[in-house]
Amino acid sequence: MTASHPNPSEGGALERLIQILSRLPGLGPRSARRVALHLLKKRETTLLPLVAALEDAGRTIRACRICGNFCEDDICPICADPKRDPSQICVVEGVEDLWALERAGAFKGRYHVLGGTLSALDGVGPDQLAVGGLLGRLRDNGVNEVILALGATVDGQTTAHYIADRLSGLPVTVTRLGHGVPVGGELDYLDEGTLTAAFKARRTL
């Protein structure tokens, strides 16, 4: 029996694959190794289709020019839908929150994805968030309500107050989601009933 090295050789393709996989959310080095081995064993049914899907996604999926949602066109289906209420914009931290609200069917207006929250700890300042784009949208269109659907974390609330500040003096009502969003909770983890209730109970900031 030939002795084989128990770990992938340093700098090789397999090690690179494991390293990249271990950066994905929910995967540490251990599960990254397991995923890499699974892909290699299922070359035809999993590895090659995954390569094709990743290439396709990398080439075609981009951020909507207006709201920041992911889509394959210049403008996402929500922004392009004439049936969505153009007078309401719901501001969310990330696309996952937008998807959660869409799944709940709680909102029929349009969205604006900030791309994060202000965070002194992580060095995220206003320039890294899509606040300028939001102000631009308010100048152009007949928007009369901006709903801040940001998490109840310290960073989420700091961001909400910062945006409310930037919007003060503009002819829009700024509201936030009502009770029902737990402290530190993220929208993606909330069930549809809770989200709908939080939307109905929204209050002026």
Residues that bind Zn ion (CB under 5 A): 64, 66-67, 69, 76, 79
Q: How far is the CB of 185 from Zn ion (least distance, A)?
A: 25
Distances, alpha carbon 12 to alpha carbons 4, 17, 29, 89, 107, in Å: 15, 9, 16, 48, 49
**Judged by CB, which is closer to Zn ion: 76, or 147?**
76
Instruction: Annotate 43-93 with DSSP letters as a single string.
Output: IIIIIHHHHHHHHHHHHH-EE-TTT--EESSSS-HHHH-TTS-TTEEEEES
Distance CA 23, CA 74 (A): 29
Which of 76, 143 has the CB closer to Zn ion? 76
Q: Is the Cβ of residue 32 or residue 67 nearer to Zn ion in the bound state?
A: 67
Min dist CB 138 to Zn ion, Å, is: 15
CA torsion through residues 141, 147, 148, 149, sign:
negative
Q: Which is nearer to Zn ion, 21 or 149 (CB)?
A: 149
Q: How far is the CB of 13 from Zn ion (least distance, A)?
A: 38
CA 32 to each of CA 6, 18, 35, 38, 57: distance values in angstroms, whole numbers, following the listed order: 15, 5, 5, 10, 21
CB of 200 to Zn ion, least distance (A): 24
Distance between CA 4 and CA 40 in Å, rounded? 17
CB of 99 to Zn ion, least distance (A): 13
- Taking the least distance from each CB to Zn ion, the nearer of 21 and 111 is 111
Token pair in block for residue 129: 């968030």
